[in-house]
Amino acid sequence: MGERSCCSRTRQRNSRDGDASIIDQVCEHPLLLESVLSIIFGMVDSPAERRAMSEVCRQWHAMDRETRKHVYVAFVYSVSPATLTRRFPNLRSLKLKAKPRAYEFDLLPHNWGGHVHPWLENIGPAYPQLSALHLRRMEVRDQDLSAVATAYAASLETLKLDFCSGFSTTGLRAITGSCKCLKVLYVENSYVSDEGGQWLNELALHNRVLEVLDFQLAIGISKVNVEDVRTIIEKCPNLTSLKLVEGEDGLGDGLRKALASSTSLRELGIFLTAQEEDDQEEIDQSTSSTGQQTMRALLPRNLTSISGDIPVPLYTSVAAQLLKLDLMTTTSIEAEQHHALLRCCTRLQNLQVRTVIGDEGLAIVGECCKDLRKVRIEDHNDEGTSVSHTGLMALARGCSKLEKLAIYVADMSNQALAAVGSGCPDLRDFRLILTEANDLSSMTELPLDAGFDELMRGCHRLSRLCIYVRPGALSDHGLVRIGHRGANLKALLLGCCGDSDAGFLAIARGCKRLQRLEIRDCPFTDDGLLRGVGCMEDLKLMWIQGFRMDDYGKLDVLGGEKYRNVECTRRDPIQCLIYRSLAGPRLDCPEEVVSPQGNGMLRHNWLTPSGGLVVG
């Protein structure tokens, strides 16, 4: 009955297009339709396409419910675990993200929230066959990892802990000791208490199917038994990615030989001790005709990605086959060595490097690395190093296949931004950060309005944009142009941009598809922000740093709207988080976070007249 009424509505919508006969014919064979739909839905993985298909009719909505295998919850407070398990009862893969991106910059209270255990209490019984779990920016305890190990000992193949905290190697041991079919263990940028290396020993003893082991950037892990790593390499024939944290004892001869003999490894991340670096230098200075093998010769023969401490210069044959090169944590090589290495990496698609590369290095990249898709250049306060509009222009003119570009610059010009627009038509993600040491008086050109206008004109596929500059570098006129051309933007960060509410309102009215918005230290008033939020119908999350509101009671109006939560953090500068939620106000707000819906109405006197924080 539901199928017939649903399809009749569909027939009415399509009758003017002449499709009524086709709809009627399909509806006469509901069993055939079910089987065909099952096959079609099984071939669609895109969440956006799935969502659109589920809105066609009730039958398609039900089919999406039964066949959906993976869900990504971009903000865990936007929906309750019970709602998720009711909507999608057959998930095999789940990704949860909790804290806003500000957490990565230490801008949130340590007890902000984002606990995983309420989710585990629901998904444990609901998804007994879960094979992949990815947690990002969440609070994870050892008890939580033990619960995961108990619930999914026979099914868990992938566990990723990204920017998580609250657990130790004891929790990891519960995972590696119980989950014998684990193929991917990823622990990067997480804070881990080191309580011994037994977790790695469990992998070495019991696992034979591991494909990815990555704990290179895990903060806290220091005790690594290289013999366990060597055993894993030798006993796991499908191991394709291995990234190790910096250890006290170095690699050792046994591990080096295991690396050299591996035929499966494609991605490698290693750190050398100071003694190993000295040994490498001594070997390099000796005659290679004596038959001595350098550390470079002990790299896996089929390597396509390398990170950590790079033993340079790499053999040309190794560099020429690299697809990804991560030099972010490499501190032992100078700019000239960067340049020599990059000249050999002609197949490179992903490059991550510090500003030590300089404008000359970016010119080399533009000349030699024509297949680049992703580039990230960060400022790690390397003395006397920087990149500017000159390097960006050379990069944009040489790398026409770029899809993602994040760059910290000391100087910028409209011409360089226009070069990105004309030279990188496939760009989907662009992030420009003006380094803090920059003095605007030394800028080549101000403002950058015309440059961003040309960038938006040429990069019409752009869906993510980050602009973190200084007051005066991007005016209201520039924001108006971004709003005019930003119809496809879904995520936007504005730092020190604009002059008044006019620029923000142009963004709000023009970027109709905007879902995530971050504002840092922009001169927008409370009225302008409230009016702008009302224009953005698709906005799911908005985070404001340096929040300036004359009447905090106005937040009660925002919080009173259906499915919208508002939270303010008692910090200097004040932060405000506005997000949509089907779950209502969250119940785990710490004292530093106040909400009109949750732990009490916001009042204008929660700040003293002098701006000091008060409790209550």
CATH number, domain of 368, equals 3.80.10.10
Residue at 381 is within a domain? yes
Please state the domain count of the chain.
1
What is the model's pLDDT at position 30? 58
Write the CA distances from 320 to 181, 239, 271, 348, 411, integer angstroms.
Answer: 34, 22, 22, 8, 32
What is the model's pLDDT at position 250? 63
Cα dihedral: 445, 447, 451, 456 (round 10): 160
Residue at 378 is within a domain? yes
- Alpha-helical (H) ranges within 486-594 are 501-510, 526-535, 554-560
What is the model's pLDDT at position 329? 85
Residue at 253 is within a domain? no
Residue at 248 is within a domain? no
Burial class (CB in 10 A: 0-12, 13-18, 19+), 5: exposed
Residue at 122 is within a domain? no
**Residue 188: which residues within 8 A CB-CB, separation 6 or more?**
161, 162, 163, 214, 215, 216, 217, 218, 243
Residue at 43 is within a domain? no
What is the model's pLDDT at position 151? 95
What is the model's pLDDT at position 249? 59
Cβ density class 244-259: b for 16+ within 10 Å, e for less:
bbbbeebbbeebbebb
Which residue range(s) make up the domain with 375?
A: 335-438
Which residue bears the tokens 């106000």? 585
Q: Which three-class secondary structure state does DSSP give residue 494?
A: strand
Tokens of 98: 């909790």
Tokens of 226: 């290289």
Written as one letter, the residue type at 21 is S
Low-confidence ranges of the chain (pLDDT < 50): 1-29, 274-293, 551, 599-616
Dist CA 603 CA 616 (whole Å)? 10
**Residue 116: which residues within 8 A CB-CB, separation 6 or more?**
96, 98, 135, 138, 139, 140, 144
Kind and range of the H or E element at 359?
helix 358-368
Cβ density class 25-38: b for 16+ within 10 Å, e for less:
eebeeeeebeeebe
SS3 content of the chain, % helix, strand, coil (to 5): 40, 20, 40
* Alpha carbon 441 to its chain's center: 34
CA-closest candidate to residue 83, choices 93, 74, 73, 92: 73
Look at the pTM and tell me if it is higher than 0.85. yes
Residue at 554 is within a domain? no
β-strand pairing of 575-580 with 541-545: antiparallel
What is the model's pLDDT at position 10? 42
Residue at 345 is within a domain? yes
β-strand pairing of 564-569 with 575-580: antiparallel
Q: What is the per-residue pLDDT across 8-61, written as a single tens digit (0 to 9) for each? A: 444 444 433 444 333 333 444 455 578 888 888 989 988 889 989 888 888 889
